[in-house]
Amino acid sequence: MRSPDISLVLATVGRTDELGRLFDSLVAQTFVNFEVVVVDQNDDDRLLPHLERARYLGIRIRHLRQSPPNLATARNAGIEAARGKWIGFPDDDCWYAPRLLERVAARFSRSDRPSGVVVRWVEQNEQPDIPAELSWERSRAFRDIAVSSITLFCHRSLFKRIGGFDNRLGVGQWFGAGEETDLAMRALRAGARIAYEPLGEVHHAVTHEKPCADARTKAALRHRARGTGALYAKHGLPVWVILRGLAAPVLRPLLGGSLGSGLLLGYATTRGRLDGYLEWRRRYRDAPQHPHTAHSVEEVQQ
């Protein structure tokens, strides 16, 4: 069997039915030479019926089990197992436009040969003026760097150069976000070329409702904001960028006249960013940029 050109590393835990929509969108792809490396972090067999259905539909599936749950670690296990020359990271509740993989493969194959490609998240309608290519100069100022894992595709060789995701960051960790932005920043800092392909489209539902400032929401915002603060410290961003990032969540509602929930949520974000900045400096000031960590993973034989 021909080796896949694209490997899609799908780290999942807890969800089941949402996978059906993703797999249906993969069946509809105009580019067919891809595999899906499912990194299963569940402690039961809930995924098996869904994987069997995907195989029946013609998708090339590889099934890994990894424990304990850690999103960044699971993705790193998938990267190690992947056979494709280009690697993407769909969420288990996202779905692809029919020509997405075709667009990604075409962009990687152009004469400038980028190390990474960022596609458009349709529902976010983000950054209409994003440049054709990301840069370290703008990313260290926190411009043009809102890279979500579902929009990011990387050449395998890039991971050999910079390592995978930093599993100190992200879902389930004290620093509750930032692992994909960190990966992109490390790549740009190392001289990688990451191109933006607006014709490639990925879908993921978003909510535009204003969150209420209850204790749970504020705690969740503060938790995720620690990841941003960690990036300030890890990448040694300029003082003015850090101060802007700490002030903006509070100044924005003040200047906009939102003195209720907006200000409370902004304060939670600022506290989280400051928490993350200080704690990263305390824990990891002299630690490696990307430490190697072992993980327990096995491939399920079909």
Helix (H) or strand (E) holding 63: strand 61-67
- What mean pLDDT do residues 225-247 have? 95
Once rounded to an integer, what is the mean pLDDT over residues 180-208? 91
Cα–chain center distance at 83: 20
Evaluate if residue 280 carries a pLDDT over 80: yes
Whole-number pLDDT of residue 288: 65
Q: Kindly tell me the sign of the dihedral angle through the C-alpha atoms of 57, 7, 201, 42.
A: positive
Closest CA to 105 of 8, 190, 189: 8
State how far the Cα of 204 lies from the Cα of 165, in Å rounded to an integer: 21
pLDDT computed for residue 279 by the predictor: 97
User: pLDDT digit string (tens) for 54-90?
Assistant: 999 999 999 999 988 899 999 999 999 999 999 999 9
Which band of pLDDT confidence, cut at 50, 70 and 90, is reported for residue 139? Answer: confident
3-class secondary-structure state, position 262 = helix
The answer to whether 35 and 61 have CB atoms below 8 angstroms apart is yes
What is the reported pLDDT for 290?
Answer: 63
Residues of the chain with CATH 3.90.550.10: 6-207+292-299
Give the per-residue pLDDT at 258.
Answer: 66
Residue 294 has pLDDT above 60, yes or no: no
Residue 268 predicted with pLDDT over 90: yes
For position 157, what pLDDT does the model report?
A: 95
Residue 114 is encoded by which pair of tokens? 């980028």
Average of per-residue pLDDT values in the chain: 90
| Per-residue model confidence as pLDDT tens digits over 116-131 | 999 999 988 765 566 7
The DSSP code for 124 is: G
Q: What is the pTM of this model?
A: 0.91
Per-residue pLDDT at 299 = 72
- State the pLDDT at residue 72: 93
**Is 90 exceeded by the pLDDT of residue 228?**
yes
Q: What are the distances in angstroms from CA 199 to CA 85, 100, 206?
A: 21, 8, 20
List b or e across 94-108, with b for residues whose CB sees 16 or more CB atoms inside 10 angstroms: bbbbebbbbbbbebb
**How do residues 9-54 score in pLDDT, each as one tens digit?**
999 998 888 899 999 999 999 999 999 999 999 999 999 999 999 9
Structure confidence at residue 296 (pLDDT):
65
How far apart are the C-alpha atoms of 34 and 172, rounded to whole Å? 29
Considering the segment(s) 6-207+292-299 as one domain, its CATH architecture is Alpha-Beta Complex (3.90)
| pLDDT for res 208 | 67
Tell whether omega for the bond before 68 is within 30 degrees of 0, i.e. cis: yes
Q: What Cα–Cα distance (Å) separates residue 76 from each residue in 106, 233, 238, 259? A: 25, 23, 30, 43
pLDDT at residue 168 is higher than 90 = yes
Q: Which pLDDT score is estimated for 302?
A: 63
Q: CA 183, CA 194: separation in Å to the nearest integer? A: 11
Q: By the 8 A CB rule, do 23 and 53 touch?
A: yes
**Whole-angstrom distance, CA of residue 125 vs CA of residue 132:** 16
Query: What is the band of 293 on the pLDDT scale with cuts at 50, 70, 90?
Result: low
| Dist CA 292 CA 285 (whole Å) | 17
